Amino acid sequence: MTPGRLTVAALGVLGLIFIFENTRHTKIRLLIPEVTLPLWVALLSTAVIGAVCGAYFVKRRQ
């Protein structure tokens, strides 16, 4: 385990803790419709979208 991997793992764990601590329902507007869902679902989906975009650009760079 390199220091970089440990840092990424620690940030991932902190991100998951932050996501699962926020369990209230919230309203989110998706262009036209407005949906109500738990805040953790919105945070987790945003994190997944960001990870997929990051992986795409890293793979494209190689």
**Per-residue pLDDT, 31:** 83
**Per-residue pLDDT, 61:** 78
pTM over 0.85: no
The counts of H helices and E strands in the chain are 2, 2
pLDDT tens for each residue of 22-60: 889 999 888 888 999 998 888 888 889 999 999 998 888
CB 43 within 8 A of CB 29: no
CB 50 within 8 A of CB 42: no
- Give the separation between CA 49 and CA 38, rounded to whole angstroms: 17
pLDDT tens for each residue of 1-26: 899 889 989 998 998 888 888 889 99
Using only the alpha carbons of the chain, give its radius of gyration: 15
